[in-house]
Amino acid sequence: MTSESLAEASGIQRSLLSQLETGSKRVNVDHLLLLARVFNCHPGDLMRSPEDDFSELSKLFEGIPETEREKALKLLSAFSEDNSKST
């Protein structure tokens, strides 16, 4: 999605979106609600950090039996390869 199409879909000016993205302007609740509506997600999902995702993955991985961990790693690797091919 381009910044122009996001601006149009959310009703947030493109210049403001740029400021929000770079951190020069703080995100407020109204912005979160508008963006969450566009992305069809919970506003809190937009505030997740990569560290949150890593922590969750780590906990999930710890719950996998040792004998199954290699399969899980191969699956994650396949997702990663698919993603790098599509970008």
pTM over 0.75: no
Q: Please check the confidence at residue 83 and state whether its pLDDT lies above 70.
A: no
Q: Are residues 7 and 26 in the same domain?
A: yes
Q: What is the CATH number of the domain that holds 20?
A: 1.10.260.40
Q: Are residues 10 and 41 in the same domain?
A: yes
Domain that holds residue 77: 50-86
Average predicted confidence (pLDDT) for the chain: 90
Q: What percent of the chain has pLDDT over 90?
A: 67
Q: Are residues 43 and 58 in the same domain?
A: no
| Residue 25 DSSP class | S
Q: Are residues 42 and 13 in the same domain?
A: yes
Give the SS3 label for residue 72.
helix
Q: Are residues 9 and 28 in the same domain?
A: yes
- Over range 79-84, report the average pLDDT: 77
Number of domains in the chain: 2
Tens of pLDDT, residue by residue over 41-75, are 999 888 877 787 888 899 999 999 999 999 999 99
Q: Please check the confidence at residue 87 and state whether its pLDDT lies above 90.
A: no
CB 3 within 8 A of CB 17: yes
